[in-house]
Amino acid sequence: MFNLIGSAINGVKHALGGLYQVKRGLETVAMHTWREPTTEAYPDKAPELPPHFRGRLALTVNPETGENLCISCRQCERVCPDKCIEITANKSTETNKLELIDFKIDHGLCMFCGLCTEVCPTYCIINTNDFEMADYTRSSLIYDLKKLTLTQEESAYYFAAKEMPLPKPKPAKPAAPAAGAAAAKPAAEAKPTATVSPKPAPESAKAPETTADKPAKEVEKKESPSTDTPSVN
Ligand code: SF4
Ligand code: SF4
């Protein structure tokens, strides 16, 4: 008899517990029915990523002039823990500056830590919002300079989105003087040459005076004795 009553009580307890769980489930369903969905309809709808999302690496250009901003300082190459950056640069004999020849990043090795973007002094290397990099071979994940370089519009977008300061305009090179510039100088500026008097010659260097140089009167005096000489007689 007692066993029968005990099992009946247990059955009621289980039934109430089950009803409580059903109520909780219905409450959760009701709550999410009116809530905005947290899932995204990717790839139909691209996700909205934060500006500092660390996606595919790329090289920016000056948004105004289109110049490549890399100065080949190799700081990104040195700091990379995976050693997946390879820079080829050459020192120009004309400008005595490093000129970038090629820039390779192996995205198959990269762990997207963003250290290379932190050390870059010119905001050249950045993480973009692109994460769709699936490919069929590992070699196709090695991006070269052409594949890494962004367009002016893309660079302008990332400079604004990441709030990076725009590159300063380079100082204008001084114009090379024209061949006939000296001739074109005004006559007043030219050094007077005809008016410069030569230094007086030293006494020793002077030519000895000859009788021909002396005045005619003195020569006459020496050649003919004076008539004014009083006579002894
Ligand atoms: S994100 Fe990190 S691992 Fe990738 S290239 Fe830059 S420094 Fe190297
Ligand atoms: S740190 Fe910046 S400027 Fe220097 S080599 Fe790397 S990308 Fe170029």
Q: What is the mean pLDDT of the chain?
A: 80
Mutate-to-test residue for ligand 1 from 80, 119, 131, 133, highest number of ligand atoms within 8 A of CB: 80
Pocket of ligand 2 (CB under 6 A): 70-76, 87, 119-120, 122, 124-125
Mean per-residue pLDDT, 198-216:
42
Mean per-residue pLDDT, 106-111:
96
Is 216 among the domain residues? no
Question: Which residue's C-alpha comes closest to atom 6 of ligand 1?
Answer: 116
Is 51 among the domain residues? no
Is 109 among the domain residues? yes
Cβ within 8 Å of residue 155, ≥6 positions away: 60, 61, 62, 63
Indicate which CATH number applies to the domain containing 74.
Answer: 3.30.70.3270
Is 173 among the domain residues? no
pLDDT given at position 177: 59
Q: What percent of the chain has pLDDT over 70?
A: 73
**Ligand 1 centroid from CA 53, angstroms:** 14
Strand partners, 61: 68
Is 144 among the domain residues? yes
Please indicate whether residue 88 or residue 92 has the higher confidence score (pLDDT): 88
**Ligand 1 centroid from CA 104, angstroms:** 12
Is 131 among the domain residues? yes
pLDDT given at position 160: 95
Q: How many structural domains comprise the chain? A: 1
Q: Which two tokens stand for residue 129?
A: 């919002």
C-alpha span between 118 and 125 (Å, rounded): 9
pLDDT given at position 182: 46
Atom in ligand 2 nearest the alpha carbon of residue 125: 7
Domain that holds residue 61: 57-161
Ligand with the closest atom to the CA of 124:
2
Is 105 among the domain residues? yes
- Is the pLDDT at 207 greater than 70? The verdict is no
pLDDT given at position 203: 44
Confidence of residue 117 (pLDDT cuts 50, 70, 90): very high
Is 134 among the domain residues? yes
Pocket of ligand 1 (CB under 6 A): 57, 79-82, 84-85, 105, 110-116
Confidence (pTM): 0.64
